[in-house]
Chain A
Amino acid sequence: MKKRLFCNWVLGVLVGTFLIAITSPLFVRSYSALQIDPVRNVPVHLRGEHYRWRSEGYATTRIGVMGMPGGPMIIPETSSENEMRVALWGDSQAEGVCVADSNKLHRQLERMAQQAGLRLTVFPMARSGDDLNDWLYQIPRVDSKLDIDVQLLLIAELSDLAGPVSGKPSDLDLPANRNSIAKSYPAFLIEAIRRIVRHPDDTPRSLRFGLGPVTSIMPPTESIRVGVKSDWKSVAKSIEAATNKQVIIVYAPNIPVGFLVGEGKTEVDHSVLALKNELTASGIGFIDARGPLRRSAAANRWPHGFHNGQFGVGHLNAVGYEVIAKNVVQLFEQSDNRVARIAD
């Protein structure tokens, strides 16, 4: 009897785990291998891989050449006469892995531009966790290789742009063991272990067995209402130094509920104004997408997903990208720089 019970449980454990394994792709994100891209010289996802995101958005992204999420599989050698080439930089907010490829920002930009009579090719270069130093490192490498006309930077947090400028990206090497783990183990197992040994913010989990009380030490995070003090002039100069192409920066922060019910001027407003002044003085375009995003949310077209059901911490969704794309294309239409129109 005991032997039978034991066998029943061993079998049950295997069947239960199998059930989880086969259903997990519906609910668990993927962990894919990385490689150092020879042009960008930073770790990127492998071309042709499918990257799953299962949180505020349920999308599977096909990785293109040079690790471009949802990007082309091969790069057209030279740009045609009427074509304007844009490199899209940013962090996970611009990467758009929570949105289907057809709704990613670069695709929406291309679509809207076409409707406006512009011919745009956008290369999605954003990587999760990137900031100013990563972009400044990669921009010169990509500039000539892809024959870029405009560098478009999407930032959700001012701190990502605030520097200090070191000229070195956050990751030059492949994370140790990452590829072998990603290749050897199923995603649900990696996710389970990660959840046990790491905190939600990805720092190593530390267990406490000492007596209380404990004064909670919160990691420093940028508050949406607190501004960022930075030397915006040197930021603008370093961007200028990195490329001689036109640069446009889009500021599209998360929209918390407080913004909807209306608030007075915050410190962020002062920081954004200071940044805008410095950028425009240096000839860098600036789009403040807060207003359009806020209006979209107020009209029940919420521009962000709800990461773990929370407001203000989700990535931009298809609506958010649409709002941003519209504003960017409007700027292209208005500007008198090298914007080619499709010949009639």
Chain B
Amino acid sequence: MQFSQIEFLIFFAFVFVAVWSTRKLAFRNGLLLVASYYFYAYWDYRFCGLLLLSTFVDFSVAKKIDAAEQRATRLRWLWVSVSVNLGVLGTFKYFNFFIDSLSPLLESVGWGTQTLSVILPVGISFYTFQTLSYTIDVYRGKLQPTEKLLNFALYVAFFPQLVAGPIVRARELLPQLASVPCWSTRRCYGGFQLFLIGAVKKLLMADRLGEMVDVVFAGPETYAGTTVWLAAFAYAGQIYYDFSGYTDMAIGAAKMLGYRFPKNFRHPYLATSFADFWHRWHMTLSRWLRDYLYISLGGNRGPRWITYRNLMLTMVLGGLWHGAAWTFVLWGAIHGFALCVERALRGRASLIIPSVAKWWITMTVVLFAWVIFRSPDIVTCQSTLYQMIGLPPGIHWHPPLVLGVLTCMVFEHLAWRTQLRRAMRLRADAWYSPIVTVVLVWSLVLYSPLGFKPFVYFQF
């Protein structure tokens, strides 16, 4: 079930009325848990077992870690959690990728290889990271394990963030699940507005851009360089509006139910450095990678080359987290390398670059990295980059709608930097809010592309 489906709106309406009709915490959480499992099973009931496995293992392991006196024992239990979670993730997401990648080598030494016939359970990358953060936080003593299995199960499976984040940490959500939230019309209105804005981003902007992106990236060699450039810009817009739209809808839905999720995006295309970009793009993933991977690897403690190694490893694994393909690895490596270069140049007084130039450099690299990210394989990636750099002749196709949406994107980013930022929140008592709200709702119904288009990040 996707947030942009009519079925979800009906489902959510039922859940909304039901949870606000009860004041009993256990009943409310139980109701949300059932709704969350239904939400997941709507896609495929067979993978609910994985959610249950992850829930039971991490709930039990966290208690074991907390109860253990010795550090070695605690560490052993942590490894159990890490092994189970990453084992499941590895089996479903990476096994076939590694087998495919290693098969020439293995077959050359006489080992036959065989891939698994499995499909990727939706949201597995997200809930695996969530449950891992729980056990790691308990191990680090930053969090007391919860005694209530129901609350923990709901934390893992809570439907607004289950399939594509934001990656909410246990210490952010578990305390909220320990009591019944108070009804707030203001908060509910805020949640509705966020949900609406998210839907507009997804259906009116991302999906419109995606129509061109899908066609051009399916055969970039057919198109003229300018068309491929336009498609690259369109993809940058598509992935941002698709994912941030989803996140807005998730945060909005949770807010309407009385829960607060962390922000995930802060206009990343305004970033003037790569570090800044990662403080604005998929913020819950970047802080997860920072806190649980980069710092665990040693962070910036130690010699410079150790810091660079850690940065590269973190970003390459971050790339691999997105998908089991070499294009994602390359994408992560480019960002890792850019972060290393940036760190190496930081503080050099002789190197004073104007902000506009910094922004331009950052965005150019980000754009080329998106081309790699979007390409289904390295060969397509090469032809796309060749068309962009070599500008050979081909079909010229510059759809006005795509140009229009990209113009809107530029204005939206510029407006966010001005006083209009407050107005864009559509306060309930502002005179223009009802007009804008109604126009947006009508536009969603009338002008969204026909046909069902899944969220891009569902594949990760």
Which A residues are closer than 8 A to B by beta carbons?
A: 5, 8-9, 11-13, 15-17, 19-20, 24, 27-28, 188, 191-192, 195-196, 200, 205, 207-209, 211-213, 257, 260-261, 297, 300, 302, 306, 308-311
**With A28-B446, A195-B445, A309-B401: A16-B42 Cβ-Cβ less than 8 Å:** no
Query: Is B447 an interface residue, CB under 8 A from the partner?
Result: yes
In the complex, chain A residues whose CB is within 8 Å of the CB of B395: 260, 297, 300, 302
Closest chain B residue to A197, Cβ basis: B6
What's the count of A-B pairs with C-beta under 8 Å? 105
A188 touches B222 (CB 8 A): no
Q: Which of B24-32, B103-111, B210-218, B352-360 binds A?
A: B210-218
Contact mask B388-406 → A, CB, 8 Å, 1/0?
Answer: 0000000111010110000
**Which one of A192, A196, A302, A311 lies within 8 Å of B6 (CB-CB)?**
A196
Closest chain A residue to B393, Cβ basis: A300
B438 touches A192 (CB 8 A): no
**With A28-B446, A188-B446: A13-B434 Cβ-Cβ less than 8 Å:** yes
Which B residues are closer than 8 A to A by beta carbons?
A: 6-7, 10-11, 38, 41-46, 208, 211-212, 215, 218-219, 221-222, 395-397, 399, 401-402, 428-429, 431-439, 442-443, 445-447, 449-451
In the complex, chain B residues whose CB is within 8 Å of the CB of A188: 442, 446
Interface centre among A5, A11, A308, A309 (most CB of B within 10 A): A309
In the complex, chain B residues whose CB is within 8 Å of the CB of A192: 442, 445-446
Q: Distance in Å from the Cβ of B123 to the closest Cβ of chain A?
A: 13
**Which one of B7, B222, B435, B437 lies within 8 Å of A260 (CB-CB)?**
B222
B451 touches A200 (CB 8 A): yes
A17 touches B45 (CB 8 A): no
A16 touches B46 (CB 8 A): no
Q: In whole angstroms, how far apart are the Cα atoms of A213 and B450 in the complex?
A: 23
Shortest 7 CB-CB contacts between residues of A and residues of B: A12-B434, A16-B438, A309-B211, A200-B450, A20-B442, A213-B44, A211-B45
In the complex, chain A residues whose CB is within 8 Å of the CB of B447: 27
**Which one of A9, A195, A261, A311 lies within 8 Å of B434 (CB-CB)?**
A9
Q: In whole angstroms, how far apart are the Cα atoms of A71 and B323 in the complex?
A: 56
B7 touches A195 (CB 8 A): no
A5 touches B222 (CB 8 A): no
Contacts A20-B439, A302-B397 known; list 12 others, CB within 8 Å: A16-B437, A24-B446, A27-B446, A195-B446, A208-B7, A211-B38, A211-B42, A257-B218, A260-B395, A261-B219, A309-B401, A311-B215
**With A16-B437, A309-B208, A309-B401: A212-B42 Cβ-Cβ less than 8 Å:** yes
Closest chain B residue to A1, Cβ basis: B429
Q: In whole angstroms, how far apart are the Cα atoms of A203 and B72 in the complex?
A: 63
Q: In whole angstroms, how far apart are the Cα atoms of A260 and B397 in the complex?
A: 14
**Which one of B44, B218, B399 lies within 8 Å of A212 (CB-CB)?**
B44
Q: In whole angstroms, how far apart are the Cα atoms of A238 and B137 in the complex?
A: 79
A12 touches B399 (CB 8 A): no
**With A196-B6, A309-B211, A310-B215: A12-B433 Cβ-Cβ less than 8 Å:** yes
Closest chain B residue to A312, Cβ basis: B215
Interface centre among B11, B211, B428, B446 (most CB of A within 10 A): B446
B42 touches A309 (CB 8 A): no
A11 touches B446 (CB 8 A): no
**With A12-B437, A13-B438, A20-B443: A211-B429 Cβ-Cβ less than 8 Å:** no
Q: In whole angstroms, how far apart are the Cα atoms of A303 and B7 in the complex?
A: 39
**A-B residue pairs in contact (CB < 8 Å), sample of 15:** A12-B433, A19-B439, A20-B446, A195-B450, A196-B6, A196-B445, A212-B42, A213-B45, A213-B46, A257-B215, A260-B222, A260-B395, A302-B397, A309-B211, A311-B215
**Which one of B7, B402, B437 lies within 8 Å of A209 (CB-CB)?**
B7
In the complex, chain B residues whose CB is within 8 Å of the CB of A205: 6
Q: In whole angstroms, how far apart are the Cα atoms of A13 and B221 in the complex?
A: 48
In the complex, chain A residues whose CB is within 8 Å of the CB of B6: 196, 205, 207
B396 touches A309 (CB 8 A): no
**Which one of A28, A209, A213 lies within 8 Å of B43 (CB-CB)?**
A213
Closest chain B residue to A19, Cβ basis: B439
B42 touches A308 (CB 8 A): no
Closest chain A residue to B449, Cβ basis: A308
Main secondary structure of the interface of A (DSSP, over half): helix
In the complex, chain B residues whose CB is within 8 Å of the CB of A261: 219, 221-222
In the complex, chain B residues whose CB is within 8 Å of the CB of A211: 38, 41-42, 45
Q: Distance in Å from the Cβ of B151 to the closest Cβ of chain A?
A: 25
Closest chain B residue to A27, Cβ basis: B447
Closest chain B residue to A16, Cβ basis: B438
Q: Distance in Å from the Cβ of A159 to the closest Cβ of chain B?
A: 22
Interface centre among A5, A24, A212 (most CB of B within 10 A): A212
Q: Distance in Å from the Cβ of A15 to the closest Cβ of chain B?
A: 5
Q: Distance in Å from the Cβ of B301 to the closest Cβ of chain A?
A: 47
Q: Distance in Å from the Cβ of B229 to the closest Cβ of chain A?
A: 17
A17 touches B442 (CB 8 A): yes
In the complex, chain A residues whose CB is within 8 Å of the CB of B438: 12-13, 15-17, 20
In the complex, chain B residues whose CB is within 8 Å of the CB of A308: 211, 449-451
Q: In whole angstroms, how far apart are the Cα atoms of A94 and B57 in the complex?
A: 64
Q: Distance in Å from the Cβ of A229 to the closest Cβ of chain B?
A: 29
Q: Distance in Å from the Cβ of B235 to the closest Cβ of chain A?
A: 14
Q: In whole angstroms, how far apart are the Cα atoms of A17 and B445 in the complex?
A: 13
Q: In whole angstroms, how far apart are the Cα atoms of A200 and B437 in the complex?
A: 25
In the complex, chain A residues whose CB is within 8 Å of the CB of B433: 12
B218 touches A16 (CB 8 A): no
In the complex, chain A residues whose CB is within 8 Å of the CB of B43: 212-213
B434 touches A11 (CB 8 A): yes
Q: In whole angstroms, how far apart are the Cα atoms of A99 and B121 in the complex?
A: 46
Q: Distance in Å from the Cβ of B268 to the closest Cβ of chain A?
A: 25
In the complex, chain A residues whose CB is within 8 Å of the CB of B443: 20
A16 touches B439 (CB 8 A): yes
Q: In whole angstroms, how far apart are the Cα atoms of A20 and B438 in the complex?
A: 9
Q: Distance in Å from the Cβ of A144 to the closest Cβ of chain B?
A: 42
Q: In whole angstroms, how far apart are the Cα atoms of A202 and B437 in the complex?
A: 28
Q: Distance in Å from the Cβ of B137 to the closest Cβ of chain A?
A: 33
Q: In whole angstroms, how far apart are the Cα atoms of A144 and B243 in the complex?
A: 62
Q: In whole angstroms, how far apart are the Cα atoms of A260 and B394 in the complex?
A: 11
Closest chain B residue to A192, Cβ basis: B445
A310 touches B41 (CB 8 A): no
In the complex, chain B residues whose CB is within 8 Å of the CB of A12: 431-435, 437-438
In the complex, chain A residues whose CB is within 8 Å of the CB of B432: 12
Closest chain A residue to B440, Cβ basis: A16
In the complex, chain B residues whose CB is within 8 Å of the CB of A195: 445-446, 450
In the complex, chain B residues whose CB is within 8 Å of the CB of A306: 397, 399
Q: In whole angstroms, how far apart are the Cα atoms of A191 and B11 in the complex?
A: 25
Q: Distance in Å from the Cβ of B449 to the closest Cβ of chain A?
A: 5
Q: Distance in Å from the Cβ of B397 to the closest Cβ of chain A?
A: 8
In the complex, chain B residues whose CB is within 8 Å of the CB of A209: 7, 10-11, 42
Q: In whole angstroms, how far apart are the Cα atoms of A208 and B11 in the complex?
A: 11
In the complex, chain A residues whose CB is within 8 Å of the CB of B450: 195, 200, 308
Closest chain A residue to B438, Cβ basis: A16
Q: In whole angstroms, how far apart are the Cα atoms of A18 and B208 in the complex?
A: 25
